[in-house]
Amino acid sequence: MSLIDETALVLFSGGQDSTVCLAWALDRFAAVETVGFDYGQRHRAELEVRPRIRERMKALRREWAARLGDDHLIKLDALAMISETALTRDVAIEVAQNGLPTTFVPGRNLAFFAFAGALAYRRGAKCLVAGMCETDFSGYPDCRDDTVKAMQVALTLGMDRRVVIHTPLMWIDKAATFEMAQEIGGDALVDLLVEETHTCYLGDRSRRHPWGYGCGTCPACRLRADGFAKWKG
> Cβ neighbours of residue 108 under 8 Å, at least 6 residues apart?
39, 79, 83, 142
Taking a C-beta distance cutoff of 8 angstroms, is the pair 156, 163 a contact?
A: yes
Quote the pTM value: 0.91
Alpha carbon 130 to its chain centroid, in Å, reads: 6
Nearest by Cα to 201 from 87, 102, 99, 104: 87
* 3 state DSSP class of 154: helix
Cα–Cα distance measured from residue 139 to residue 142, given in angstroms and rounded to the nearest whole number: 9
What φ, ψ does residue 187 adopt, rounded to 5°?
Answer: -60, -30
Task: Set out the domains of the chain in order of their start, with CATH numbers.
Answer: 4-232 (3.40.50.620)
pLDDT at 203: 85
Which pLDDT value is given to residue 138? 62
pLDDT on residue 226: 95
Residue 96: what pLDDT?
Answer: 47
Q: Phi/psi class of residue 75: alpha, beta or left (left: φ > 0; alpha: ψ in -120 to 50)?
A: beta
Q: What is the pLDDT of residue 22?
A: 98
Produce one character per residue of 198-212: b if its CB has 16 or more CB atoms within 10 Å, e if not.
bbbbbbbbeeeeebb
**In the chain, % of residues over pLDDT 70:** 85
pLDDT beneath 50, residues of the chain? 86-89, 93-96, 100
Rounded distance between C-alpha atoms, residue 20 and residue 25, angstroms: 9
